[in-house]
Structure 1
Amino acid sequence: MYDFSKLKVLVVGDVMLDSYWMGSTKRISPEAPVPVVVVDSEKHVPGGAANVSMNISALGATAHLLGIVGDDKAGKKLAKILESSGINVFFDVNKNAKTIVKQRVVSKQQQLIRIDFEEGFKHIDSVWLKEKYTALLPNVDIVILPDYAKGTVHDIQYFINAARKAGKLIVVDPKLPDFTAYKNTNIITPNYMEFIRAVGPCKDDQEIDSKAQKLIKDLNFDIIALTRGKDGIDLIRKDKKTLRFKSMAEEVFDVTGAGDTVLSVLALSLSAGIDIEHAVQVANLAAACVVKKFGTATISIKELHRVLELNKVFPEENVLSREQLLQCVVQTKAAREKIVFTNGCFDILHFGHIKYLQQAKQLGDRLIIGVNDDASVKKLKGPSRPINSLEHRMQTIAALQCVDWVVSFSEDTPFNLINAIKPDVLVKGGDYTPDAVVGADVVKQNGGEVKILEFVEGYSTSNIINKICGVLDK
């Protein structure tokens, strides 16, 4: 469900370079009552629509970015950073424009001042930009239009209408005070200040809802996702009760770029088939993660999966059916996490098992255990086994901290299960050779590896059973 790797996104809007001068502050200037910063480092990150595309790429989707820059060092630096992040960059490098730069001076992770270098692009009618947009449109799933009111999409209805005709999902982040400019958009994501600039002051939630419903009807919006900072996100749909999602942020360090993250995660989630209520919940959690970071930041697919898991968006139980497990495997691979698989009967769990599984867990991020069902154990071990039922064996294994997911299999070997999972690491214990392990060929063909771990000497289920029987005989 959270695999965005097959999605292609077209982002069109105002791109900018966010630059940071960072250093120490130990004295006040004798010239004016301002701190003196001794700059010892600097960094440059994409901002505006470019940060939206960085979020899209970090979440595993393919991002195409259209924008305007000047024929200058800042524009070249911005393009280089974006391309190195795997983004397909299509810039109108315009001699009549200057790349927008937001220069921040920072000391001890505290922003002291921001200096903006911008003329905007309202004087530029980029025919090339529209032609490129039209050419790219048929091959994408989503169109995102982050409008920062700098002029790149000053004719924004052209972009909305073209996407609408092509049947694409359109998501707009508005900046203009008159939302008429964005009519016929599927989803619009204003923050609270942008919203009240458009509709006027609102004394309470009821008035927010009323004015939002009027916008939806008058301007043919499908959804307004209203971001309200510490008050979370309001999901407003035509003639439906507003759903309010409380902010999940426990710690707010820097809100720069949080709106870009909401925009990106919401658009991708909907295109991936996630229902709108769930999509807003996911976007809300993603924003809570980003505001803990300093400066213009993104969230990776791996971070997103972690925060979803912590908030129980992943299955709460770790004893899963094969179908449930394969869903989790898709999500885990999309997060670029390393999957480790091993299997066994685990009839009477003992110290040797625990040491073996702890070692297996250290080989990756997720440890999956395949457990023989009762009938297959009987075939392997004889008619007196298993001692413990499949349900009890799985629940016992699942209780170990090192184990992520447990699944059963009924075949004589776990080959079919291994073939479905295609783990990064296949683990077996004992005196096997890697080539003799069931499923080794499948794992190796997919770029994985087979690891043989030594059993802890003196520990086995059979020994424990024999010891118990010996005591009883006496």
Structure 2
Amino acid sequence: MDLSYFNRLASSKILVVGDVMLDRYWHGDTGRISPEAPVPVVKVSGLEDKAGGAANVAKNIAHLDGKVSLLGIIGDDDNGQSLEALLKSENIDSRLIRQQEAPTIAKMRVISRHQQVVRLDLEERFSEAHSTLLLNQLKAIVSEFDLVVFSDYNKGSLHLISEMIAVAKNAGKTVLVDPKSKQLADYRGADFITPNLTEFKAAGGVIGDEEIITQSARTIVAECGLGAMLLTRSEQGMSLITPNEKHDFAAQVHEVSDVTGAGDTVIATLAVMLSTGMPASQAVEIANIAAGLVVAKLGAATVSPEELSAKLTQYLRDTGEQYQAPAEEVLHHIELARQRGETIVFTNGCFDILHAGHVRYLAQAKARGDKLVVGLNNDESISRLKGATRPVNPLDERATVISALASVDWVIPFGLEAENDTPAKLIERVKPDVLVKGGDYKVSEIAGADFVLASGGKVEVLEFVNGCSTSNVIKKIQSDG
């Protein structure tokens, strides 16, 4: 797999159009039955709002560092305001259209002991007039984007989807559709359509052996004027079917908890990868990995950038490859992890020649929290600190080796200027909950310790393994030579 595509994620310009929703969750414990009716009493202890429907697709794209805008319809109400605030916090450019005739679609769930007690739906189907508003706005902004995703939840926003696809195609855009209509001809002109097996059968698809499924899908693709079908097949994985080719992808091995949200994750990941220029078969391969992660969660879950990055790192490590995210993207992902309440641990070093002492030390550092960030001295910084003969290994190679460790979540280089040979400025940007340093330092001697302590964090000093050091490794190599 050519990893150069991953360096283009942030240049993606994607528009998501469709049925947007607010998913609201009330969490609490259940200890008794109501005296008023035979129903459980849930004592609410927490409220959580999430972007749902097409907004969830946009959220997945934003988490993959794609530049994403969202076009949809909301009501002139509090739920609409809450949804717009969520989009802003997720780095999603909101192009939502407010109207007063129908409310913002909202799905409200009461959750107790990881079980859904009841769901309340607040919605009215949007009219063709509402869809016309979307169509007109799409015409005005479509030129700004490389790729358009239509997320159809059959709520009426995409009543005029045939016209919308024509607008996008006439503008030269790649079009992806997550369908709900049984009439797949409604999506004529789309480059990719992503039905699941239930939607495939509802649209006239025939289920049988592989040859029957493939021929049936190709018939639909041809008759409905589609470019390709990505058929998601639950435990059987996915199949990318074109008029001339078929690529099968085995399901990732995970304990399935809930398939809710998996379709959003698949089309979002596919869109981001295609927008980098990645070939379709490789883009589907990555989307399949993302789907394997999301089905392991409960509820309308999404895959976090950290989880997908970790899984991709493992996947690419198995193939002997590695991807390094740019520092600014890493800082964004760290902030997302912090918002989810995860503990951020930071340590730093040169890590010129990785040895057993480093591996044990980094594992101990990771044990102090949920995510481990490693600040890595760049080559110039090491030369200033260690002498002209160092580093032995250049920055890219050192970062690749460190990132491949299971204990390490992110690597960020530092030391562009002589005054920044300490990680103090980087620590102020990362804002770790725990700062870890190896050696015989006093806390007062550790760069960045004052900032972390003043911010309410902790500073810990870990002992290195005796006899393990890069200098000793180099001396042994020289003496043996």
Give the letter aligned to residue 132 of structure 1: Q
Secondary structure of 1:151's match? coil
1:329 lines up with 2:329 in the alignment:
no
Cα distance in 1 for partners of 2:166, 2:148 equals 11
Q: How does 1:148-187 map to 2 (within 5 A)?
A: 148-187=153-192
Q: Deviations over 1:384-419 (max 9, x none)?
A: xxxxxx9xx99xx98x9983479xxxxxxxxxxxxx
Residue 260 of structure 1 deviates from its aligned partner by 0.3
Residue 339 of structure 1 deviates from its aligned partner by 11
Paired residue for 1:189, among 189, 194, 213? 194
Give the letter aligned to residue 142 of structure 2: L
After TM superposition, the structure 1 stretch with the greater mean CA deviation from structure 2, 170-179 or 295-304, is 295-304
Cα distance in 1 for partners of 2:215, 2:63 equals 37
| Cα separation, partners in 2 of 1:105 and 1:57, compared to 1, 3 Å | same
Residue 304 of structure 1 deviates from its aligned partner by 1.7
Q: Kindly, what percent of the aligned residue pairs are identical?
A: 36
| Cα separation, partners in 2 of 1:66 and 1:339, compared to 1, 3 Å | farther
What is the aligned partner in structure 1 of residue 316 from structure 2? Answer: 313
Secondary structure of 2:106's match? strand
Give the letter aligned to residue 113 of structure 1: V
- Conservation of the 8 A alpha-carbon contact between 1:339 and 1:424: no
What is the aligned partner in structure 2 of residue 232 from structure 1? Answer: 237
After TM superposition, the structure 1 stretch with the greater mean CA deviation from structure 2, 161-170 or 299-308, is 299-308
Cα distance in 2 for partners of 1:20, 1:366 equals 37
Larger radius of gyration: 1
Secondary structure of 2:301's match? coil
Secondary structure of 1:424's match? strand
What is the aligned partner in structure 1 of residue 445 from structure 2? Answer: none
| Cα separation, partners in 2 of 1:35 and 1:380, compared to 1, 3 Å | closer
What is the aligned partner in structure 1 of residue 252 from structure 2? Answer: 248
Cα distance in 2 for partners of 1:287, 1:462 equals 43
1:424 lines up with 2:405 in the alignment:
no
- Conservation of the 8 A alpha-carbon contact between 1:16 and 1:100: yes
Unaligned runs of 5+ in 2: 335-345, 381-387, 406-410, 431-435, 441-463
Query: In angstroms, what is the RMSD of aligned CA positions?
Result: 4.4
Cα distance in 1 for partners of 2:135, 2:160 equals 10
| Cα separation, partners in 2 of 1:370 and 1:314, compared to 1, 3 Å | farther
- Conservation of the 8 A alpha-carbon contact between 2:254 and 2:293: no
Give the letter aligned to residue 248 of structure 1: Q
Paired residue for 2:61, among 40, 51, 56? 56
Residue 330 of structure 1 deviates from its aligned partner by 4.5
| Cα separation, partners in 2 of 1:23 and 1:452, compared to 1, 3 Å | closer
- Conservation of the 8 A alpha-carbon contact between 2:176 and 2:191: yes
1:43 lines up with 2:45 in the alignment:
no
Residue 122 of structure 1 deviates from its aligned partner by 2.6
Residue 305 of structure 1 deviates from its aligned partner by 1.8
Unaligned runs of 5+ in 1: 318-323, 372-378, 382-389, 407-421, 428-432, 470-474
After TM superposition, the structure 1 stretch with the greater mean CA deviation from structure 2, 258-267 or 127-136, is 127-136
Residue 230 of structure 1 deviates from its aligned partner by 2.1
Cα distance in 2 for partners of 1:335, 1:401 equals 15
Q: How does 1:80-95 map to 2 (within 5 A)?
A: 80-95=85-100
Residue 59 of structure 1 deviates from its aligned partner by 1.1
Residue 139 of structure 1 deviates from its aligned partner by 1.3
Question: So what's the TM-score if we normalise by structure 1?
Answer: 0.74
- Conservation of the 8 A alpha-carbon contact between 2:19 and 2:151: yes
| Cα separation, partners in 2 of 1:401 and 1:5, compared to 1, 3 Å | closer
Secondary structure of 1:170's match? strand
- Conservation of the 8 A alpha-carbon contact between 1:17 and 1:100: yes
Residue 201 of structure 1 deviates from its aligned partner by 4.8
1:364 lines up with 2:373 in the alignment:
yes
| Cα separation, partners in 2 of 1:160 and 1:23, compared to 1, 3 Å | same
What is the aligned partner in structure 2 of residue 418 from structure 1? Answer: none
| Cα separation, partners in 2 of 1:32 and 1:276, compared to 1, 3 Å | same
| Cα separation, partners in 2 of 1:206 and 1:44, compared to 1, 3 Å | same
Question: So what's the TM-score if we normalise by structure 2?
Answer: 0.73
Residue 453 of structure 1 deviates from its aligned partner by 8.7
Q: Deviations over 1:103-162 (max 9, x none)?
A: 212111111222222111035344442232122211111100001111111100121111
Give the letter aligned to residue 425 of structure 1: F
- Conservation of the 8 A alpha-carbon contact between 1:261 and 1:287: yes
Residue 180 of structure 1 deviates from its aligned partner by 0.9
Q: How does 1:251-400 map to 2 (within 5 A)?
A: 251-310=255-314, 312-314=315-317, 316-317=319-320, 328-330=323-325, 334-336=329-331, 342=350, 364-365=373-374
What is the aligned partner in structure 2 of residue 109 from structure 1? Answer: 114
Give the letter aligned to residue 185 of structure 1: A
Cα distance in 2 for partners of 1:164, 1:46 equals 28
Residue 365 of structure 1 deviates from its aligned partner by 3.7
Question: Aligned residue pairs: how many?
Answer: 412
What is the aligned partner in structure 1 of residue 81 from structure 2? Answer: 76
Give the letter aligned to residue 252 of structure 2: M
What is the aligned partner in structure 2 of residue 207 from structure 1? Answer: 212
Cα distance in 2 for partners of 1:463, 1:274 equals 41
Cα distance in 1 for partners of 2:473, 2:82 equals 66
Q: Deviations over 1:160-192 (max 9, x none)?
A: 111111111100000011111001100000111
Give the letter aligned to residue 253 of structure 1: S
- Conservation of the 8 A alpha-carbon contact between 1:249 and 1:291: no
Residue 301 of structure 1 deviates from its aligned partner by 3.1
Residue 36 of structure 1 deviates from its aligned partner by 2.9
| Cα separation, partners in 2 of 1:35 and 1:129, compared to 1, 3 Å | same
| Cα separation, partners in 2 of 1:340 and 1:274, compared to 1, 3 Å | farther
| Cα separation, partners in 2 of 1:160 and 1:35, compared to 1, 3 Å | same
Secondary structure of 1:54's match? helix
Cα distance in 1 for partners of 2:244, 2:356 equals 60
Q: Deviations over 1:255-298 (max 9, x none)?
A: 22111000100111111122222211111111111222332222
- Conservation of the 8 A alpha-carbon contact between 2:148 and 2:175: yes
Secondary structure of 2:88's match? helix
Cα distance in 2 for partners of 1:7, 1:99 equals 28
Give the letter aligned to residue 413 of structure 2: D
- Conservation of the 8 A alpha-carbon contact between 2:63 and 2:304: yes
Give the letter aligned to residue 424 of structure 1: P
What is the aligned partner in structure 1 of residue 459 from structure 2? Answer: none
Give the letter aligned to residue 155 of structure 2: K
| Cα separation, partners in 2 of 1:467 and 1:352, compared to 1, 3 Å | farther
Q: Deviations over 1:427-466 (max 9, x none)?
A: 9xxxxx95496xx9xx99xx99xx9997999985599679
| Cα separation, partners in 2 of 1:423 and 1:76, compared to 1, 3 Å | closer
Cα distance in 1 for partners of 2:66, 2:40 equals 43
